[in-house]
Chain A
Amino acid sequence: MGKLDGKVAAITGSTRSIGRAIAEAYLREGAKVVINGRSAEKGAAAMKEMGGGPNLAYFAGDARNQKDCEGIVDFTVEKFGKLDIMVLNSGGVENTAPVAMMTDEEWMMEVTWNLHSVFWGMRKSLQHMIPREAGRIIVTSSVEGKLGKPGIPGYAATKHAVLGLMKSAAREVGTLGITVNAILPGIIETDIVRETGPDSAIAMGVAGYDELIAMFCAESAIKRPNKVEEVAEVAVLLARDVAAGITGTSFPVDGGTMPY
C-alpha cells in the first residue's frame, strides 16, 4: 500500500533532477503522475527510463509560457480525471549579472521562469482544487529563497517571492482542505546546476563550478551538497493526507545552511 494511492500529481520541470526524483517517489507511493519539460526528446527518454506504464504521462511544455503552465493542469485532469497534487518545480538561473549590470530583458526572463510560472500554475490548480475542497500545492523554492548571493539577483528575488505567494495562498485556502507549502533545497548537483553553474560561479566571483559547489557546501553544516531524494521524500510527506495540518511552511532541505 502506497502513501499516495489513488492520488493524481503533476510536476513541472520533471524529466530530470529534483522534479524527476519527486515523480519517481510519487509513482512508487501509488500516485498517477504527469511529468513535464520543454524537450519532447528528454520527455520521451524520461518516460522510457521510468518504465512508462499506465500511471505515467508526459506533457510537453515550457514553464516560461503561460499556456503551458495552465495546460498541464487541463492535460492532467483530462488524462487522469483530477489533480490532487501540483508540484511547481520548474525554475533555475537563466541570467547571471550583478544588479547594476542586469538588463530588463534578463530580469524579465528570471521573473517569468521562477515566479510567473509558479503563479500561473498555482492559480490554475487552485481553480480546480477549490471546488473539490482538496489538494496539495508544493513549490520548489531554494536556500536562495531566504538568503542571497551576488550575481544571481533574479533567482534570489524570485525564490523569495514564491514564498510570499505561497504564504498568501495558504491563508486563502486554509479551511478548504488544500495546503500550500514550499521546499527550500540547498545546492544539489542537478543537470541544471551543471549547465548553469559555471556562469553562476563567474557572476558570484568564484573561480569555477567546483569552487561554486564548495562554497555552498562550506556554508552548510553537513559540508556536502543535498540530494534529490532528500527533497523527494519531503514532497511525499507534504502530499500525504496526514500532512493536512502543514501549510504555509517553508521546509528547508539544506543540510543546516539557513539561519531561520
Chain B
Amino acid sequence: MELQGRVAVITGGTRGIGRAIAEGFLADGASVVINGRSAEKGAQAVKEMNGGDRVHFVQGDIKSREGCQAIIDAAIAKYGKIDIMVNNAGGATGHAPVIDLEDWAMEDSLKWNFWSTFWCTQMALRDMVPRGWGRIINVSSLEGKHGKPGVSIYVTAKHAINGFTKSCAQEIGTTGVTINCICPGAIETDIMRDEGPAAAASMGLTYQGLLDWFASEAAIKRLNTCEEVAAVASLLASEAGAGITGSMISVDGGTAAY
C-alpha cells in the first residue's frame, strides 16, 4: 500500500489513461478524485471503480482557470489536501496544416492541454509546497518530443508542457515536490477514437492509417496501453519517485529519439 493516505487528483480521469492511473493509485491505497465534463460518465466510472469513499468524481471543464479552481477546491473540501496532481485531460480539435490553421483551434488546444496543466499545477503547488511533499505528473505525449504534420496544435501544446515541467522542476527541486512528464505513444483510447479521425484527415490519412503509422514507428510495432502508462505514474507517485524530477519518461514502445 505504497500510497496509503495519499490524495490524488486526476483531470479527465473517467476513461482512458486517466482512468487507468486512477485505478492504479486506488489499488496502491490512495484516495482519488477523478474529473470529467460528463456527469453521466463520471457516475459510471465511480460505480465501476468500486472504491467506496476513496473515489470521488468532480464534474468540470479544465479549459478555464475557474474550472480548474473548482476541481482543486472540491478535492480539498472532500479529502483535505492534494498530494498527487495528474494533469491528464487533453486533446485537440480543429486540426489543419499550419497554412490553413484557424486561431480558435490553436487557442482551444493550448487551453485544453497546456493552460489546464499550468493552472492545476500552480493551484496544487500552493497546497503541496507548504506541506513539503507532492507529486505533479503531466501526461504529455510522444508528440511532446516529436512532431507530425497536420497536428501542430497538439504538438505545440505538448512541447509546451514539457518545457513548463523542466522549468518548474528547477524551481521546486528542494521542496519535496517533484514534477515530471510521461510521454505515451499512441493509445487507442476513447478520446483517440473521437478525435483521431479528424487528426488523420488533417494528415491525409484514414484513422486506421494513422494508427498503423504510429505502430510502424515503434520498435514494438503496436500501440501502447493505458496500463503501461499507469505503472509509470504509480512509480513517480511513490516514495522512490522523490529522486526523479524534470524528466520526460517515454512510454512509447521505442519510438522517441530521445
Contacts and interface: CB of A to CB of B under 8 A. Distances in A.
Nearest to B225: A245
Interface string A229-260: 11011100100101111111111111111111
B219 A246 contact: no
A249 B254 contact: yes
B99 interface: no
Given A251-B249, A253-B244, A246 B228 contact: yes
Interface string A210-237: 0000000000111110110110111001
B109 interface: no
B254 A247 contact: yes
**Interface size grouping (class) on chain A:** 35 or more
A243 B251 CA distance: 9
Contacts of B222: 245
B258 A222 contact: no
Interface stretch (B34-42, B166-174, B192-200, B205-213): B166-174
Interface string B160-183: 000000100110111000000000
A260 B219 contact: no
Contact of A255 (B173, B248, B253, B254): B173
Interface of B: 166, 169-170, 172-174, 185, 218-222, 224-225, 227-228, 231-232, 235, 238, 240-256, 258
Interface of A: 167, 170-171, 173-175, 186, 220-224, 226-227, 229-230, 232-234, 237, 240, 242-260
B231 A221 contact: no
B254 A256 contact: no
Given A234-B240, A246-B250, 10 more contacts: A167-B254, A174-B219, A221-B170, A221-B174, A226-B243, A245-B228, A248-B255, A249-B252, A255-B243, A259-B166
